[in-house]
Structure 1
């Protein structure tokens, strides 16, 4: 069986190689990989920046955004052969901590969780993989072409849920929302904002190409240039770039009683000169709030499937700008100017 493997921490080690068939002796689902989405995390792991192999192994099978088809399922699993499934990324820590024990493994309090294709457990980038039914969600057959987007959609489903919960702290009636970054996560965040009826705005650096077109097709407003120059005071900002200058500008842009959600990961290598006192002053005097959000639990995957199921499937298909056959997998890790979501096709 072929799989995309690498040695964590070692650049240029990513390879397509033969590995053993998955072990389903514990009653796990046996799943055939159909589509594997590639994101910035995968590219950074492939560059040797981080990643952890399973205990006792040298290599890690990468891939955490996957759509699969069940080949075999135990009778009591609730699944059957032919079902389309998406597997969750994170698994609870072995203790488990109070959050993990409550099914909120996305907020693990001791950091001992594992993540498929990232931290200490093999990912989904193999022709077949085993998947515990407790960490799988069924998707409709009608979403065959777009369900690979469920995992990134779960990230922003959680972000929107947290925003709503925080907003309930007061009599809050937000109307305007801004997304910074028009990659897959940003565009999916904009989609969910449109579905909730917000006046949606999306900011990105590019001025032409598929990103502005996709934003306008949603009925949202696209912006480029400098974020700090926007004539806008949004009630909600979801920051999806992880770029330090954009994050800083976002802090200064939100309206009174505003909420800024940081959903993009920063490299942490950009030193900026800014007045933390002024930011603190605005947070206090305007009742603003800034928070971070990462990963997702079952509830957020369910919300993601619901959002994608009701979306325009043709619009969602446009987010997938390249499908790369498995035999040509290196092309999926070579970024192109018009890329949004690149998917490796395991079915060829």
Structure 2
């Protein structure tokens, strides 16, 4: 069986190669891979800056943004051959912390979780794979092309859940949301904002390509100005920060309306310095009852929310988010950025 593999912590080790065919256990499904998405984490792993191979193995099958079709499922599992599915990325610590023991493994406190295609488990970037029946979600058949967006959508489904939980500490009826960044996470955060019938604004520095049109077709407003100018005019109740850029992070924190919530989903690179008036930031957070919360990863509940959100979305809009599809045998091409890339996926069922 062919799969896209890598030696974690070794730059230039990406290779499409033969790996053993998967053998499902009694509680696993056998799935034919259809597509796998490529994100910043995958690029870090390919660059040798991140990732852990499975114990006893020098290589790891890459890919955590999955889409497949069930070939065989255990009797009574609730899944059947032909079902379209996506697999959950994270697995809880086998000696779980309190969060993992309650199914909230995305909030693991001790760091001994594992992750498909990232940390000590092979990923979904193969022509076939197995997945535990309680670590998968069934997708609407209409998502045969765009279901690969389930994992990134689960990330923003969790972010919105966190925003709403923080907001519920008191009266909370947000009207305006600002999303910083129009990459896949930002666009999907905007989608979920419009599904909540909020006034959605998206800030990105790109002026051409597909991003402005994707935002406009959600009924949202696209901005390219400085963040201070945008926040002063929009006065967002909620900001979903999806870039990790320090200037945008602090601009968002300083620019919300009173009782505002900033949810950080972008991971900032280390080593970049930024001068900040920490006293002013603290003063505004305290005096305006603002809140800042970080959010990463997702659990099974969030995958189910993601499946619902994608099923309710315009399938043509979702399809337009996927700007490039690369066959498995040419997988390396997916890791070289092109000017108009939004979401790049590797197709697993294409023999070329």
Give the TM interval when normalised to the shorter protein.
Answer: over 0.9
- The answer to whether 1:320 aligns with 2:347 is no
Q: Is the 8 A contact 1:235 1:258 kept in 2?
A: yes
Task: List gaps (5 residues or longer) in structure 1.
Answer: none
Aligned to 1:237: 239
Aligned to 2:87: 87
Aligned length: 348
Aligned to 1:311: 313
TM superposition outliers: structure 1 runs of 4+ over 3 Å: none
- TM-score with structure 1 setting the length: 0.98
Does 269-278 or 146-155 show the bigger shift?
A: 269-278
Q: Is the 8 A contact 2:4 2:328 kept in 1?
A: no
CA distance in structure 2 between the aligned counterparts of 1:209 and 1:46, rounded to whole angstroms: 26
CA distance in structure 2 between the aligned counterparts of 1:210 and 1:76, rounded to whole angstroms: 44
SS at match of 2:234: coil
- Residue 38 of structure 1 deviates from its aligned partner by 0.5
- Residue 29 of structure 1 deviates from its aligned partner by 0.7
- Residue 225 of structure 1 deviates from its aligned partner by 2.7
Aligned to 1:254: 256
- The answer to whether 1:14 aligns with 2:14 is yes
- The answer to whether 1:340 aligns with 2:349 is no
Pairwise mapping of residues 190-209 of structure 1 onto structure 2 (< 5 A)?
190-209=190-209
- Residue 315 of structure 1 deviates from its aligned partner by 0.6
- Residue 81 of structure 1 deviates from its aligned partner by 1.1
Pairwise mapping of residues 258-297 of structure 1 onto structure 2 (< 5 A)?
258-297=260-299
Aligned to 1:298: 300
- Residue 23 of structure 1 deviates from its aligned partner by 2.3
- Residue 212 of structure 1 deviates from its aligned partner by 0.5
SS at match of 1:218: coil
CA distance in structure 1 between the aligned counterparts of 2:76 and 2:184, rounded to whole angstroms: 36
Aligned to 2:137: 137
Aligned to 1:4: 4
SS at match of 1:20: coil
Which residue of the other structure, out of 328, 331, 334, is the alignment partner of 1:329? Answer: 331
Q: Is the 8 A contact 1:232 1:253 kept in 2?
A: no
CA distance in structure 1 between the aligned counterparts of 2:54 and 2:330, rounded to whole angstroms: 26
- Residue 26 of structure 1 deviates from its aligned partner by 4.0
C-alpha RMSD of the superposition = 0.9
- Residue 193 of structure 1 deviates from its aligned partner by 0.4
SS at match of 2:217: helix
Aligned to 1:64: 64
- TM-score with structure 2 setting the length: 0.97
> After superposition, what is the alpha-carbon deviation per residue over 1:233-256, rounded to whole angstroms, capped at 9, x for unaligned?
100000000111211211111110
> After superposition, what is the alpha-carbon deviation per residue over 1:249-300, rounded to whole angstroms, capped at 9, x for unaligned?
1111111000000011111221111111111110000000001001111111
CA distance in structure 2 between the aligned counterparts of 1:241 and 1:131, rounded to whole angstroms: 31
Aligned to 2:27: 27
